[in-house]
Structure 1
Amino acid sequence: MWGTCLAVDGLFTDLARGTYELFGWIPEGAEPRGWVGNRVWLVPEDKALDAWLLGDAESPGAVTKAGSLALVGEDDYLGPPEGYWGTVRVHDEEQWLGSCREFTKILPAENPLPPLLLRGLAPSSGLREVLAKGTRKSLDLEDVVLDIRDDQGDQLADFELRAKVEAWRPSPCGTDLIDLQLARHYPLLPQHAQPLWEQWFAGPPATPAAWAGLDTRKREVWLDLVRRRTCARTRRGGGGARAPALDGAGGSAAR
């Protein structure tokens, strides 16, 4: 273990989002408006080409007078088939939303990811040796696990990441503590998830079915958090897989 810290800055970031303009939009039901879905597929008319996924998709406005619809979301690693800008049909894993005769992608501005800042870190002796050495090779910590705990010390989630030390300095949080800055290559959690995660930082909700009043997008965040919590507690605690508990209970062994 490299150490324990009091807080992490940079856990939540605005993910890179692509914007697609769908020309000649023909709806198959209600017009998409606002948040569209957590997993929205764009399916080319050409059956030889693969569909691609748009995560956490939303439509920021109504269909224009020219008949085009904008979709904004997180592209999967594949993105649209190279050189294809023709007809696509849109599906949200429950129903077809509509189709367009052609589309274009508006590339987002490049915004570098902010570093992770571990504030109030009590470094292990091994990390102190690494920082004292200070070489490029030694500062590459390679694969590490960021273990997130709630205010009661119970495990909430863990994230595997490639960590490289960029900077460190004495921390105002206490004597012998440091603030450690790590470079990272991909985001961990979207910015819109932060309010719900902060509720869980205080501990599991005391009110049963606290998720029931959430809209669909926030329910997706809640479910992702519960899954991460269950997986992290299973990996650390052993004893077999646990069933996710939506209300935050420990979860029973899966049968």
Structure 2
Amino acid sequence: MKYLLVREDEDGVEQLWGRCAGVDGLFVDPVPLPREVLTLRGCGPDGILGDVLAGPDVSLRSLGDLCVEVWDDEQPVQWWTLVDAVVVAHQPHAADPALYDIVLGAGVRKDESFVELSAPSRFELSGGTTAAAARPSRCSAVDGLFESRDDPAPVPMELIGCEAVEPLLVGTQQPRRWARDWAELLVLDRHGGVMASRVVGLAIDGARPSVLGDGLEDITLTDGGDGRPSPAVRPVWEKWCQGPPSEPNVWAAYDAQGRAEWLELSTRAWRVPAPRPDRSGGEYHVDGRFVTDVPGLHCAIAEALLGPGRYFGREWNAFEDCLAGGFGVIPPFTLIWHDSEVARRALEDGAKDAGERLPYFEGVVRLLERRGVTVLLR
């Protein structure tokens, strides 16, 4: 069995609900959100918006996915995502020419809300894997954010060859009356270790004798959940299904999207087995031959410090957190970066350092040095 369906009971104890031989619909591209036009009012020229406002021509400038925090007088109370945000136009803010109004095209997704606000005090924006996300941009209003929207239709998932146990067994016998929240689908590698997990809906649309026979069932879940990997990264999963990587630079064969998925899978791998106490001192060597994008940089550094398939941050903020301890290695130590010019050239026009406006590679080197790491570029 390659998949386990588990759910916590009222006491927080994980209970097995079923074992499955296969899953159809684990890899899906998300249903695109409708494009909308929004206006950020009274934006300051800092954070992720700083690069936008500094350029002479910002029309059609892509910002990627933007996280929008809605604040009351004291704290954030709502979180939204502007998906694939693109700058359409900008102009000085009417009440203060030092600020700007920025028109965006984006898909809009509400992620979490504690309260509904009639008059938010401010909005904070951050985004992507850039260092600029460490210092959020602020604006006074987001026109078009609070419109009513229909939820996208859920994408189903087929569980193939399942051994269902109570209480899932009851649900498969009476699927039309079964709608029980959410569970976790654990994906096992060939050694039986958990390599990934995804949250799935437990609303069952149908159950029937399995095509695999032997008294098994094929079960249709109405909603296979959000955050499923794209079919484009299936080869990365197939590699990890063979077990945690033991050879260096296996990640280098993939493009930036595949490398980002490699980092996603490594977030579970660093916990198994449990991390040892942090060590400091010594020398570590980064193989820089394949560092041609931001995900590749984090793959290479993690591999240098902890070994193949390990985790040491997958973007700027997480990397900064890892340097503070708790992930196996902590400064001071020496990092010898071989073929460093590969990363310097590849990343010179990409993301910038939040404080000093350096290219991503330069910013990472400066961050390492500030944290007590001796960096030798070769």
TM-score by structure 2 length? Answer: 0.47
Greater helix content = 2
* Deviation, structure 1 residue 156: 1.1
Residue among 155, 173, 177 paired with 1:114? 155
- 3-state SS in 2 of match to 1:84: coil
**Equivalents in 1 of 2:83, 2:175: separation in Å?**
43
Change (3 A) 1:12 1:21: same
Q: State the AA in 2 paired with 1:117.
A: E
2:309 to 242, 248, 252: 248
- Deviation string 1:58-115 (CA, Å, 9 cap, x unpaired) is 3134326885223445432118852237763434432344636542225444322123
Looking at structure 2, the residues matched to 80 and 71 of structure 1 have their Cα atoms a distance apart, in angstroms, of: 24
Q: Provide, for residues 187-211 of structure 1, a one-character-per-residue CA deviation record: whole Å limited to 9, x for no partner.
A: 24245x4433541233255552626
Say which SS state the counterpart of residue 4 (structure 1) adopts: strand
Provide the residue aligned with 2:103 in structure 1: 68
Residues in 2 aligned to 1:127 and 1:43: alpha-carbon distance in whole angstroms: 40
Give a deviation string over 1:117-137, Cα, whole Å, max 9, x none.
Answer: 102x14257689647853767
Q: 1:172 to 1:152 in 2, by over 3 A?
A: same
Shift of 1:149: 1.9
CA 1:20–1:201 in structure 2 vs 1: closer, same or farther (change >3 Å)? farther
Residue in 2 that maps onto 1:208: 249
Unaligned ranges ≥5, structure 1:
235-239
RMSD: 4.7
C-alpha separation between the residues in 1 aligned to 2:102 and 2:183?
A: 49
Aligned pairs, number: 241
Query: Within the alignment, does 1:40 sit opposite 2:67 as a pair?
Result: yes
Residue 22 of structure 1 aligns with which residue?
Answer: 39
**Structure 2 counterpart of 1:90:** 125
Alpha-carbon distance between aligned partners in 1 of 2:275 and 2:175, rounded to the nearest angstrom: 41
Instruction: Name the residue aligned to 1:146.
Output: 185
2:197 equivalent among 155, 158, 165: 158
**Contact 1:3-1:127 at 8 Å conserved across structures:** no
Question: Could you tell me how far apart the structure 2 residues matched to 1:125 and 1:102 are?
Answer: 48
Aligned to 2:85: 59
Task: Indicate the residue corresponding to 2:345 in structure 1.
Answer: none
Q: Mark the structure with the bigger radius of gyration.
A: 2
Secondary structure in structure 2 of the residue aligned to 1:6: strand
- Check 1:167–1:75 CA distance in 2 against 1; reply closer, same or farther (3 A cut): same
Identify the match of residue 187 of structure 1 among 194, 212, 225: 225
Percent identical: 14
Q: Tell whether the 8 Å contact from 1:21 to 1:70 is kept in structure 2 after alignment.
A: yes
Separation (CA, whole Å) in 1 of partners of 2:182 and 2:39: 40
Shift of the alpha carbon at 1:222? Answer: 3.7
Q: Which segment is superposed worse, 9-18 or 101-110?
A: 9-18
1:229 is displaced (CA, Å) by 4.2
Match of 1:237 in 2: none
Name the amino acid aligned to 2:143: F
The 3-state SS of whatever aligns with 1:110 is coil
Structure 2 counterpart SS, 1:165: strand
CA distance in 1, matches of 2:125, 2:172: 55
Tell me what 2:268 maps to.
228
State the AA in 2 paired with 1:95: R
